């Protein structure tokens, strides 16, 4: 449904409280028009507060019957998270038994869980060593003259090989395809060289600098808006 706005009079009656109020007591749009509902600010805010209010959560009873063992147990015997029963009405003992039976019948899943826990511990203990390795890895340059981490990133995101990337740099003479500004090829960072691609097809169009890539993005890759921008600059050229 499209919103209809009307020109406000000096005094208007609110549709909720039925009071005759000045037009300053109503919300208006940028052009100074009031919505046809003509609800005053106080009623509008009160309505908003009522809509935002959530119903209170039900309190968990002190004693709950377990769905598995059918025993009436205290709520401390259950896993409660954010004032809610976790995993339904299942006590801790039954929960642990169910998990043991599941992992015994699914040994592959148990191995995966163990491996994930081992991975987490390993990364926490060897943080400094991993950072050093990553820095060393960044300085390794491939046959194409590109750092290995950059080459892997280009392939992962754009499906562009190191050779294809190097060929694009040679064709463009290490410069931006639009403004012809020279790239900082020593840095090879995301800010230095941007791989421009079509967001619908995913095909790579060329290599751009940060400003040109951002400009195309802000114009939403629309040719008509870019042409109108050129015409505007030509008209207002001082």
CATH number, domain at 168?
Answer: 3.40.1800.10
Domain that includes residue 75, residue range: 57-125
Q: What number is the average pLDDT over the span 165-175?
A: 89
DSSP 8-class letter at 32 = S
Domain count, the chain: 3
Same-domain pairing of 36 and 62: no
- The average confidence (pLDDT) of the chain is 81
Same domain membership, residue 204 and residue 152: yes
Q: What is the arithmetic mean of pLDDT over 201-223?
A: 89
Does a structural domain hold residue 81?
yes
- 196 in the same domain as 180: yes
Q: Which pLDDT does position 190 carry in this prediction?
A: 45
Boundary of a domain, candidates 125, 140, 157: 125
pLDDT at 1: 40
In a domain, 77, yes or no: yes
105 within domain boundaries:
yes
* Residues 184-212 as b or e (16 or more Cβ within 10 Å = b): eeeebeeeebbbbbeeeeeebeebbbeeb
Contact 96, 119 (CB under 8 A): no
User: Domain containing 39 — which CATH number?
Assistant: 3.30.60
* Global pTM exceeds 0.85: no
Q: How confident is the model at residue 238 (pLDDT cuts 50, 70, 90)?
A: low
**Packing angle, helices 148-158 and 127-139, rounded to 10:** 90
Domain membership of residue 233 (yes or no) is no
The Cα–Cα gap between 51 and 49 comes to: 5
Same domain, 201 and 182: yes
pLDDT over threshold 80, residue 211? yes
Task: Of 30-39, 55-64, 137-146, 228-237, give the range with the top mean pLDDT.
Answer: 228-237
């Amino acid at each position: 449904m499209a919103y209809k706005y009307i020109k406000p009079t000096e005094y208007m009656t609110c549709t909720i409280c039925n009071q005759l109020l000045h037009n300053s007591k109503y919300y208006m749009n940028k052009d100074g028009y009031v919505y046809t509902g003509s609800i005053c600010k106080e009623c509008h805010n009160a309505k908003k507060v009522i809509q935002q209010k959530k119903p209170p959560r039900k309190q968990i009873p002190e004693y709950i019957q377990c769905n598995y063992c059918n025993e009436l147990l205290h709520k401390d015997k259950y896993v409660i998270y954010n004032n809610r029963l976790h995993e339904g009405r299942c006590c801790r003992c039954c929960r642990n038994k169910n998990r043991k039976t599941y992992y015994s019948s699914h040994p592959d899943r148990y191995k995966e869980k163990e491996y994930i826990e081992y991975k987490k511990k390993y990364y926490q203990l060897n943080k400094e060593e991993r950072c050093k390795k990553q820095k060393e890895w960044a300085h390794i340059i491939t046959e194409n003259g590109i750092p290995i981490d950059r080459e892997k990133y280009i392939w992962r995101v754009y499906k562009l090989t190191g050779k294809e990337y190097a060929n694009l740099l040679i064709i463009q003479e290490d410069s931006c395809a639009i403004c012809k500004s020279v790239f900082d090829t020593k840095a090879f960072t995301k800010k230095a060289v941007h791989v421009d691609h079509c967001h619908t097809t995913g095909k790579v169009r060329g290599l751009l600098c940060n400003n040109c890539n951002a400009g195309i993005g802000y114009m939403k890759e629309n040719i008509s808006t870019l042409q109108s921008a050129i015409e505007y600059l030509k008209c207002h050229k001082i």
